[in-house]
């Protein structure tokens, strides 16, 4: 098994666990399939950026915080 395949499996398992722990209030689910598609696109872009050779491990946490701050700003 390739390293990238193993990472994909681990990522899927982690996402599954996170969804199980997610406390549903119904709002996200009601946003529909377009919202789900958009989230998947953002998630793919994030993981592509994180796994890029030029991405330094020390940049990941500040980048994550920057992304969350951006979403908080546009959703306010």
Tens-digit pLDDT profile for residues 13-44 = 777 776 766 666 778 878 888 988 999 999 99
Which of 10, 75, 2 shows the shortest CA–CA distance to 47? 10
Task: Measure the CA–CA gap between 6 and 12, rounded to whole angstroms.
Answer: 10
The pLDDT of residue 3 is above 80: no
Per-residue model confidence (pLDDT) at position 24: 67
| Prediction pTM value | 0.65
Q: Which domain holds residue 67?
A: 3-74
Average pLDDT estimate for 45-69: 93
Query: Average pLDDT over the chain, rounded to whole?
Result: 85
Residue 35 has, within 13 A of its CA and on its CB side, a CA count of 6
Q: How far apart are CA 7 and CA 38, in angstroms?
A: 22
Number of domains in the chain: 1
Residues 46-51 have a mean pLDDT of 93
Cα separation of 70 and 7, whole Å? 27
Cα-Cα end-to-end distance for the chain = 44
């Amino acid at each position: 098994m390739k390293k990238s395949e193993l990472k994909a499996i681990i990522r899927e398992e982690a996402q599954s666990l996170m969804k199980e722990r997610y406390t549903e209030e119904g709002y996200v689910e009601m946003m529909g399939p377009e919202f789900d598609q958009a989230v998947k696109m953002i998630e793919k872009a994030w993981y592509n950026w994180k796994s890029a050779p030029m991405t330094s491990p020390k940049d990941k946490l500040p980048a994550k915080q920057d992304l969350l701050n951006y979403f908080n700003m546009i959703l306010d």
